[in-house]
Structure 1
Amino acid sequence: MIELPALRGRVQRDAPLAPVTWFRVGGPAEVLFRPADADDLVALLAALPDTVPLTAIGAASNLIVRDGGVPGVVVRLGGAFGVIERDGCGFIAGAAALDVTLAETAAAAGLSGLEFLCGIPGSIGGAVAMNAGAYGAEVKDVLDWAEIATPEGLRRYSLSELNCRYRHSDIPARGVVVRARFNAHPGDPAAISARMAEIRASREASQPVRARTGGSTFRNPPGEKAWALIDAAGCRGLTRGGAQVSEKHCNFLLNTGGATAADIEGLGEEVRARVIEHCGTPLIWEIIRLGVPA
Structure 2
Amino acid sequence: MTRQSSLIDRLPAVRGRLTEGASLAKVTWFRVGGPAEVLFKPADVADLQAFLAGCPADVPLTVLGVGSNLLVRDGGIPGVVIRLGRAFAEIRTDGRKVFAGAAALDLNVALAARAAGIGGLEFLSGIPGTIGGAARMNAGAYGSDLAAVFASATALDRQGVMHRLDKDGMGFTYRHSAIAEDWIFCGAELEGQPTDAALIQQRLNEIQAAREESQPVRARTGGSTFVNPTGHKAWQLVDQAGCRGLSVGGAMVSEKHCNFLINTGAATAADIETLGETVRRRVKETSGIELAWEIKRIGVTADSPLAIAAKSEA
Matching of residue 140 in structure 1 with residue 147 in structure 2:
yes
C-alpha distance in 2, partners of 1:282/1:235?
15
* One of 249, 252, 264 as aligned partner of 1:241: 249
Aligned counterpart, 1:265: 273
Alignment of structure 1 residues 218-237 onto 2, 5 Å: 218-237=226-245
Cα displacement (A) at 1:50: 2.6
Considering Cα pairs closer than 8 Å and 6+ residues apart, tell me whether 1 or 2 has the greater RCO. Answer: 2
Identity of aligned residues (%): 59
* One of 185, 201, 207 as aligned partner of 1:199: 207
Cα displacement (A) at 1:45: 1.5
3-state SS of 2:223 partner: coil
Matching of residue 169 in structure 1 with residue 177 in structure 2:
yes
C-alpha distance in 2, partners of 1:274/1:251?
14
Moved over 6 A (4+): none
* One of 29, 51, 54 as aligned partner of 1:22: 29
Cα displacement (A) at 1:172: 2.6
CA contact (8 A) 1:45 1:174 kept: no
With normalisation by structure 2, the TM-score equals: 0.92
Listed as ranges, the gaps of 5+ residues in structure 1 are none
Q: Which amino acid aligns with 1:72?
A: G
Matching of residue 57 in structure 1 with residue 58 in structure 2:
no
C-alpha distance in 2, partners of 1:21/1:39?
26
Give the number of equivalent residue pairs: 294
C-alpha distance in 2, partners of 1:87/1:49?
39
CA contact (8 A) 2:64 2:83 kept: yes
C-alpha distance in 2, partners of 1:153/1:50?
14
C-alpha distance in 2, partners of 1:230/1:206?
15
Matching of residue 276 in structure 1 with residue 288 in structure 2:
no
C-alpha distance in 2, partners of 1:228/1:213?
19
C-alpha distance in 2, partners of 1:28/1:231?
34
Aligned counterpart, 1:123: 130
Aligned counterpart, 1:106: 113
Deviations 1:254-279 (A, max 9, x none): 00001000000000000000011111
Deviations 1:177-211 (A, max 9, x none): 01100001110211111111001100100000000
Listed as ranges, the gaps of 5+ residues in structure 2 are 1-5, 303-314
3-state SS of 1:215 partner: strand
With normalisation by structure 1, the TM-score equals: 0.98
Cα displacement (A) at 1:91: 1.0
The root-mean-square deviation of aligned C-alpha atoms, in Å, is 0.8
